Chain A
Amino acid sequence: MERRAVYRNKVLPWLLIGPQLILVLVFFYWPTSQALYWAFTLEQPWGGGNLWAGLDNFLYIFRDSRYWATVLRSAFYALAATGISMFVALTLASFVDRSLKGTKIFQSVFIWPYAIAAPAAGVAFRFIFSPEAGLVGGINELWPGIWDPSTNGIQALAMVIICHAWLGIGYNFVFFLAALQMIPRSINEAGAMDGARPLRRMLDLQLPLIAPTAFFLLIMNIISSFTDSFGLIDTMTEGGPVGQTEVMVYKIYVDGFKGLDYSGAAAQSIVLMLLVIGLTFIQFKWVERRVHYN
């Protein structure tokens, strides 16, 4: 990795990397240190600086049953959305990978959801699932009141998860297809010589070989369901009905900006940060011993 040919200059590299370093310090490290400061202190109601609160902010949120409900909901959200999205994307990628005639058209359409903003998809799905409108809401004509995500929390959560899964299809598809196409052709041919039919080869040869990509995507999807869910929930349900679609990011936003409880929001941010850092760390540990085919 070490280069032999490098430039020697005392000033130039700092001029090159300086702007980015300043941005990173101002917009990443400073806010993170502020979050830590707020999480361990409590702002006094009448001003006059913050009081040291130790772990009280954390204990407070950990004792709050509403917070745990949010954590459980986020976990369920993450697993459900990730599972559906990866399953659909993997199925599509496996079949596109067979490269039959005309596949190119399918391939380019399957990437589309990647380009769509979460709020735009949120608005579209909100209409699709709206109890008053004539799509899914049409079943209310047959069984009045059976579908109403604005009062039924489970239906509302299902609606958001489906939308999130749809949005993830494009990204997952691109990565799965790339991984499938990197498998050497000869392995597939050897399987065919041994008499394995295409479906058998998909399940027993290709699937195990793309396991590293699947794992990478699993982590990426879970992280994105923690972070990107905001735009969906804000346009589809605003956390409602009565907080039943509130996930961790949304609760931070509500507590911090609507409730102006900076210390509570900061403590929650720290918990979420640790979660994301933990997941990223696991991912890098895994990527280091990734399988290489050639």
Chain B
Amino acid sequence: MIERSPYFDAFTYAVMIIGLGLVVFPFWVVIVAASQSLQEVSSVPISLLPSDQLWVNLSEAWERGGLGTKMLNSMIVSVGVTIGKITLAAMSAFAIVFFNFRSRMICFWLIFITLMLPLEVRIVPTYAIAANALMPFQAILDVTGLTWLVQTVSGVQVSLNWNLLNSYTGLILPLVATATGTFLYRQFFMTIPDELVEASKMDGASAMEFFWDVLIPLSRTNMLALATIMFVSSWNQYLWPLLITTDRENFGTAVMQLRFLIPTMNGTPDWNVTMAAALIIMLPPLLVVAFMQRWFVRGLISRDK
């Protein structure tokens, strides 16, 4: 603080409290509605004080949405995507920064440009590929005439087929490629001084030993920050799981399940159960962000005033 300005300080607190109200209000409504009975939640105007039905609604939502399976699926997918993204990002960035091969910049740009092609934008063709992930390879075989060659020589029709619909692989794999992660790791690896590489070479460490014993421990903070972002974004995926899962019973994720718990036009308006489900579903990423905030924000916010 530079000078004393009591009025402006009071104004600052006032603004922050209004902001707090704005941000917290939807959360408050969800919690309040989730704790009320059907009658309380449908009364106009609604009471903004919590009632005593929270546990009843939570277990009803859990039961009706089959949230046991769904939460487990979401967890498997998010953890899978997070680990996959971090592994691939670290490996690719390591190859790009610490190896001298001719096409490394081409490889970097090939990965980096995907930043401009969000899933939502190319959703229709990506869905087609999920039905057969080997389609590009089949096309290559067809175009190069290899299919024809194999067929004439051996009489076997080559048709590659790998269906990703209704599987964890299908939910995870298309989300694992990461331009952001690769870029961030590359930025970090580029700050590693040459001397460190030379020292580890002198000590007789191989490239992979350098990667494991020097780079990975050094990048731990970045990894935690990246993991937080990745976990939140993959838990919150909606469009992709919705498309790729027809067997909602077994392979649905928690977030997409929410859509099917909204009261219908002519059904009972039991918003209390819907809100209870929303509460369950938003909790894991919220907890992750709350606990990881220190690491997640540290990369961005460094200075204390």
Measured CB to CB, the residues of A under 8 A from B are 1, 3-10, 12-14, 16-17, 19-21, 23-32, 34-35, 38, 88, 91-92, 95-100, 103, 106, 108-121, 123-128, 130, 132-135, 137-138, 140-141, 166, 169, 174-175, 177-178, 181-182, 185, 188-189, 192, 197-199, 223, 226-228, 230-231, 234-235, 249, 252-253, 256-257, 262, 265-266, 269, 272-273, 276-277, 280
Hey, which chain B residues are within 8 Å of A280, CB to CB?
115-116
Name the one of B174, B178, B243 contacting A257, with C-beta atoms under 8 angstroms.
Answer: B243
Hey, which chain B residues are within 8 Å of A276, CB to CB?
116-118, 121
B55 on interface, CB distance cutoff 8 Å: no
A20, B92: Cβ atoms under 8 Å? yes
Chain A residue, CB-CB nearest to B302:
A181
B136 on interface, CB distance cutoff 8 Å: yes
CA of A198 to CA of B305, assembled, Å: 15
CA of A124 to CA of B31, assembled, Å: 10
Q: A32-B117, A276-B116 are in contact. List 7 more A-B contacts (CB 8 A).
A: A20-B177, A91-B19, A114-B289, A123-B275, A138-B44, A182-B303, A199-B8
Hey, which chain B residues are within 8 Å of A21, CB to CB?
107, 110-111
CA of A230 to CA of B2, assembled, Å: 46
**Chain B window 159-180, contacts with chain A (Cβ cutoff 8 Å), 1 for yes, 0 for no:** 0000000000000011011100
CA of A147 to CA of B129, assembled, Å: 44
B8, A13: Cβ atoms under 8 Å? no
Q: A97-B305, A185-B305, A227-B121 are in contact. Are A7 and B99 (CB under 8 A)?
A: yes
Chain B residues bordering chain A, tally (CB within 8 A):
109
Most chain B beta-carbon neighbours within 10 Å: one of A30, A128, A185: A30
B19, A5: Cβ atoms under 8 Å? no
**Chain B window 72-107, contacts with chain A (Cβ cutoff 8 Å), 1 for yes, 0 for no:** 000000000000000011011011111111001001
**Distance to closest chain B CB from A239 (angstroms):** 14
Name the one of B27, B117, B136 contacting A25, with C-beta atoms under 8 angstroms.
Answer: B136
Q: A132-B269, A166-B26 are in contact. Are A38 and B125 (CB under 8 A)?
A: yes
Most chain B beta-carbon neighbours within 10 Å: one of A29, A198, A230, A262: A198
Hey, which chain B residues are within 8 Å of A19, CB to CB?
88, 91
Dominant SS among interface residues on chain A:
helix
**Distance to closest chain A CB from B137 (angstroms):** 8
**Distance to closest chain B CB from A183 (angstroms):** 9
Give the A-B contact count at a CB cut-off of 8 A.
314
Measured CB to CB, the residues of B under 8 A from A are 1-3, 5, 8-9, 12-13, 15-16, 19-20, 22-24, 26-27, 29-30, 33, 41-46, 88-89, 91-92, 94-101, 104, 107, 110-111, 114-129, 133, 135-136, 173-174, 176-178, 182, 190, 194-195, 197-198, 201, 207-208, 210, 232, 235-236, 238-239, 242-243, 255-256, 258-259, 261-262, 269, 271, 274-275, 278, 281-282, 285-286, 288-290, 293, 297, 300-305
A119, B92: Cβ atoms under 8 Å? no
A27, B177: Cβ atoms under 8 Å? yes
B281, A120: Cβ atoms under 8 Å? yes
Chain B residue, CB-CB nearest to A141:
B44
Hey, which chain B residues are within 8 Å of A175, CB to CB?
300
A117, B271: Cβ atoms under 8 Å? no
Q: Which 3 A-B pairs have the closest CB atoms?
A: A134-B46, A31-B125, A117-B236
Hey, which chain A residues are within 8 Å of B271, CB to CB?
127, 130, 133
B125, A35: Cβ atoms under 8 Å? yes
Chain A residue, CB-CB nearest to B261:
A123
Chain A residue, CB-CB nearest to B199:
A5
A115, B16: Cβ atoms under 8 Å? no
Hey, which chain A residues are within 8 Å of B92, CB to CB?
16-17, 20
Hey, which chain A residues are within 8 Å of B198, CB to CB?
5
**Distance to closest chain B CB from A285 (angstroms):** 14
A-B residue pairs in contact (CB < 8 Å), sample of 8: A35-B125, A112-B286, A112-B290, A113-B23, A117-B236, A117-B281, A134-B43, A169-B22
A124, B285: Cβ atoms under 8 Å? no
A120, B282: Cβ atoms under 8 Å? yes
